[in-house]
Amino acid sequence: MSDWYMIRKGGDYAAIGKKHGISPVIARLLKNRGIESDEDIERYLHGGMEILHDPGLLDGIDECALLLKEAIDAGSKIRIIGDYDIDGVCATTVLYKGISFFGGDTDARIPHRVRDGYGMNTDMIRKAKEDGIDLIITCDNGIAAREEAALARELGIGLLVTDHHEIPYTDEGSERRYLLPDAKAIVDPHLPDSKYPFPGICGAFVAYKLICYYAEKFQLCLPEETDETLIQMAAFATVGDIMELKDENRALVRYGLKLMSERPADGIRELKAVLGLNGKQVSAYHLGFVLGPCINATGRIDTAERAFELFTCGDETAALRIAAELKELNENRKQMTEQATNAAVKQIEDNEHADCKVYVIYLPQCHESIAGIVAGRIRERYYHPTLIVTDGEESLKGSARSVEAYNMYDALTQVSDIFIRFGGHSQAAGFSLPKEKLAELRQRLNANCTLTEDELCEHISIDLELPLKYASRELVNELKCMEPCGNANPRAVIARAGLILKGISPVGAEAKLCILSVEDEGVTYELKAFYKTDMIKKHIEDKYGSEVLNDLLKKASDGVRISVIYKPDINEYNGKTSLQLVLEDYK
């Protein structure tokens, strides 16, 4: 069970609300998120593209732009090498459209997840030489490509790296040595001694900043339609790559969502159509859980170049066909994910990992492309750092997802000798390793792990303790000014303690939805719980016994108390809207 605590920050919320034209509830939510000064409040509520940081503050960007200009002016053949996830696809699209507009002779390649693995590899460098490529520019990868950079230099191919990942390093005593690739220019907000004020931007945002800097430096004007397309790509990737929605990321995504709703770019327009989103306001939720998974699905179980083609083909009929294919691929991905997640849960419930703080779960039948999703699901369910390891073509492949107190990238760096290759962030990583090293990986990660029991319990900050009668359409509308919500800018967390649980009603053959009947201050309400039926039933049975659970399933009990975290929301169905209360957590 998670640990809840109420955020208690004092303030004259009525006065703050009056000054900024918001309700006292919103004023309290902003203060809970550390947004307190008048300037910060105004930037949060109204900040637009004007608050984006100067691209010129990125180390290496001027040199990169100059070298790119030289290549374009010389008629050199330029190849963009991206990555197979949503950030990589969007970043590749940004560079391709931008360099093409500047007159560059450019093409693009995106690695195949299974055949090529993550990012640029030596085979791709050799193929570029065969194809007469003079300059390679990476996006969303390349910062760890030391071997590939050395080969490119040896073969006489220029290399520009644009990336946003952490810089690989080794610790030699008390000194940290960063391992940078030998490229002609590197643009990455995480470069050592970087002065860039907000390093938490995604690869597509880095690519967009390069295109903007190039245009400004060489006094070129991006057409409005092109600029809006690139903004949408960068915003899409920011949400899809789960970057923090604060500072310039928040401004970018807010404007990007407006464009996607009103003037969607090629590819996004057709994807909206096949997913039934025509005429609807696009939210961060849609990017993260509806549109985004379709882009990621093609890189997982087909080739991400299909998604790149969706964004660049320029033909509405072809784009609609591709969008429909991506939707179908995502449906297949969902089934595969559910099967693999169930297999991982079974291992844990069978106590195969009982002595582990770090779960290293071997699923040989799991498609390597969905290992990261499964790792995320297990991390969410059990709140342990989780590595899902699968059989690759030549070695084991794996993806990792972490908890707040555990830096996964640092942990993997401590055992880097085990891996063939690895990379990632503090909260997510990917790797490959020899099969005979699997047991050693599990043993050493757990031996090094210093997580306490408290750190292995998810801590949820409660914004408001609110009786259910105050959950209204008006409140839902008030909360919209917090959008876009996501990583580092969560939705309002609203709780209610001491409800009387009167009944549990699973819905449908697979019971993916169950409805809890609860009483609050003498009035009965319905709480909708999605994908929690089995967990709720187990919780009740463990705490109160099977007889009480059976009574609740028959709606014949009123002696069970439950505290909930819930979300007031508007449900749309058959053109009609209604208020619904969605259960998010319980105890």
Rounded to 5 degrees, what angle do the CA atoms 368, 362, 119 make? 30
Tell me the mean pLDDT in the region 35-56.
Answer: 95
CA distance linking residue 109 with residue 101, whole number of Å: 18
Q: What is the pLDDT of residue 421?
A: 87
> pLDDT digits over 46-61, tens only?
999 999 999 999 999 9
CA distance linking residue 238 with residue 235, whole number of Å: 5
pLDDT of 425 strictly over 80: no
8 burial level (CB within 10 Å; 0-12, 13-18, 19+): exposed
3-state secondary structure of 243: coil
Query: In the chain, where does the domain assigned CATH 3.90.1640.30 lie?
Result: 55-327
Torsions phi, psi for 579 (to 5 deg): -75, 135
Most confident of 74-78, 294-298, 424-428, 457-461: 74-78
Q: Of 172-176, 178-182, 294-298, where does mean pLDDT reach its minimum?
A: 172-176
Strand pairing partners for 500?
Answer: 519, 561
Residue 90 near residue 368 (C-beta atoms within 8 A): no
Per-residue burial over 260-283, b = 16 or more CB atoms within 10 Å of its CB, e = otherwise: bbeebbbbbbbbbbbbebeeeebb
Q: What is the pLDDT of residue 39?
A: 95
Is the pTM higher than 0.85?
yes
CA distances from 460 to 2, 37, 463, 564 (A): 7, 25, 10, 12
Which residue, 208, 296, 315, 294, is CA-closest to 255? 208
Question: What DSSP string describes 31-92?
Answer: HHTT--SHHHHHHHHH--GGGSPPGGGSTTHHHHHHHHHHHHHTT-EEEEE--SSHHHHHHH
Q: What is the pLDDT of residue 299?
A: 84
Q: Where are the alpha helices (DSSP H) in 184-223?
A: 203-217
Q: What is the pLDDT of residue 556?
A: 78
Which residue, 219, 77, 98, 91, is CA-closest to 165? 91
**What pairing do the DSSP bridges indicate for beta strands 135-138 and 158-162?**
parallel
Tell me the mean pLDDT in the region 308-323.
Answer: 96
Residue 80 near residue 50 (C-beta atoms within 8 A): no
3-state secondary structure of 447: helix
Task: Give the percent of the chain with pLDDT over 90.
Answer: 83
- Rounded to the nearest integer, the mean pLDDT of the chain is 94
CATH architecture of 351-448: Roll (3.10)
pLDDT of 417 strictly over 80: yes
pLDDT of 424 strictly over 80: no
CA distance linking residue 269 with residue 483, whole number of Å: 22
Q: What is the pLDDT of residue 284?
A: 96
Task: Give the confidence band of 470 by pLDDT, cuts at 50, 70, 90.
Answer: very high
Task: Give the confidence band of 584 by pLDDT, cuts at 50, 70, 90.
Answer: very high
> pLDDT digits over 473-511, tens only?
999 999 999 999 999 999 999 999 999 999 999 998 888
The number of angstroms, rounded, from the C-alpha of 338 to the middle of its chain's C-alpha atoms is 19
Q: What is the pLDDT of residue 394?
A: 82
- Give, in words, the CATH class of 462-586: mainly beta
Which residue, 270, 315, 249, 299, is CA-closest to 44? 249
Task: Give the confidence band of 512 by pLDDT, cuts at 50, 70, 90.
Answer: confident
Query: In the chain, where does the domain assigned CATH 2.40.50 lie?
Result: 462-586
CA distance linking residue 301 with residue 483, whole number of Å: 32
The yes/no answer on whether domain 55-327 falls in CATH 3.90.1640.30 is yes
3-state secondary structure of 487: coil
CA distances from 538 to 42, 308, 530, 534, 545 (A): 46, 44, 15, 6, 9
Query: In the chain, where does the domain assigned CATH 3.10.310.30 lie?
Result: 351-448
Per-residue DSSP letter, 470: G
576 burial level (CB within 10 Å; 0-12, 13-18, 19+): exposed
Q: What is the pLDDT of residue 277?
A: 94
CA distance linking residue 306 with residue 90, whole number of Å: 12
Task: Give the confidence band of 187 by pLDDT, cuts at 50, 70, 90.
Answer: very high
Q: What is the pLDDT of residue 369?
A: 83
Residue 340 near residue 331 (C-beta atoms within 8 A): no
Torsion, CA 464, CA 469, CA 474, CA 477, rounded to 10: 50
| Residue recorded with tokens 């310039």 | 248
Q: What is the pLDDT of residue 575?
A: 78
Q: Of 20-34, 49-63, 280-294, 569-583, where does mean pLDDT reach its minimum?
A: 569-583
Torsion, CA 416, CA 419, CA 421, CA 422, rounded to 10: -60
Which residue, 580, 574, 428, is CA-closest to 513? 580
> pLDDT digits over 215-230, tens only?
999 999 999 999 999 9
Work out whether the CA dihedral 49, 53, 58, 61 comes out positive or negative.
positive
Centre a 10 Å sphere on the Cβ of residue 452 and count the other Cβ atoms it contains.
Answer: 9
> pLDDT digits over 258-276, tens only?
999 999 999 999 999 999 9
Residue 58 structure tokens: 């990125």
Residue that wins the pLDDT comparison between 575 and 414: 414
Task: Give the confidence band of 114 by pLDDT, cuts at 50, 70, 90.
Answer: confident
Rounded to 5 degrees, what angle do the CA atoms 537, 542, 548 make? 65
Q: What number of residues does the chain have?
A: 587
Q: What is the pLDDT of residue 377?
A: 94
pLDDT of 1 strictly over 80: no
3-state secondary structure of 3: strand
Residue that wins the pLDDT comparison between 116 and 262: 262
| Residue recorded with tokens 């106590």 | 351
Tell me the mean pLDDT in the region 436-454.
Answer: 96
Residue 518 near residue 499 (C-beta atoms within 8 A): yes
